[in-house]
Structure 1
């Protein structure tokens, strides 16, 4: 469930990026764009799923996985939006991934 939540959050960020090209604060009606509404729905559903995760898993164990979003969002932006990603971003994401692995190893809190 944690990984599904993170994937949904990353998708929501990509949708927010797409919506940002369609909305304008000078035109309030533009905030009714389908992309923005879908992004808000996906993000809201991910938040509810995160609550379900937290009801089953200690926060100290679940939260380090949240760091994977710093790897997933750039990866989705590269894959879906064709944004260039600097090598430093990939290296930083790898370091975060290593940190998540280290944080999830060992005895689990009871």
Structure 2
């Protein structure tokens, strides 16, 4: 059970990292410099989060077969757009929600297999 929780935390961490990468990219477009405080700080935060989640993911893979836990990574396809909607106000069409439903069904089917 702990392994699955850590795996989900890894996916959440990666999704947050993607949001931070977008924040740093937006800051870079505004400032034109990687050395601007906001750009550097958010980029460093994203990279640090990715490093930590990578180490945690390696721990997960020590405990569980890759094929059993990897489908959880598909949650990122749900979490990142959700975060982009909440933080950046991005909008989605009906097809997006159909796709999310299919992804969630696929995750449930593969995890229970």
TM-score, length basis structure 2: 0.82
* Structure 2 counterparts to residues 77-92 of structure 1, below 5 A: 77-92=84-99
Whether the 8 Å CA contact 1:12–1:40 is kept in 2: the answer is yes
- Which string of whole-angstrom CA distances, capped at 9 and with x for unpartnered residues, describes residues 25-84 of structure 1? x64535961111111111111111111111111101011111111111111111222211
Gaps spanning 5+ residues in structure 2: where?
Answer: 1-5
Pick closer, same or farther for the CA change 1:2–1:28 going to 2, 3 Å. Answer: closer
* Structure 2 counterparts to residues 13-92 of structure 1, below 5 A: 13-23=18-28, 27=33, 29-30=35-36, 33-92=40-99
Distance, in Å, in 2 between the alignment partners of 1:43 and 1:81 is: 21
Distance, in Å, in 2 between the alignment partners of 1:74 and 1:28 is: 25
Q: CA RMSD in A?
A: 1.8
Name the stretch that deviates more: 40-49 or 11-20.
40-49
Which secondary structure state, in structure 2, belongs to the residue aligned with residue 23 of structure 1?
Answer: helix
Aligned residues: 105
TM-score, length basis structure 1: 0.85
Distance, in Å, in 1 between the alignment partners of 2:97 and 2:7 is: 21
Q: Does 1:104 align with 2:111?
A: yes
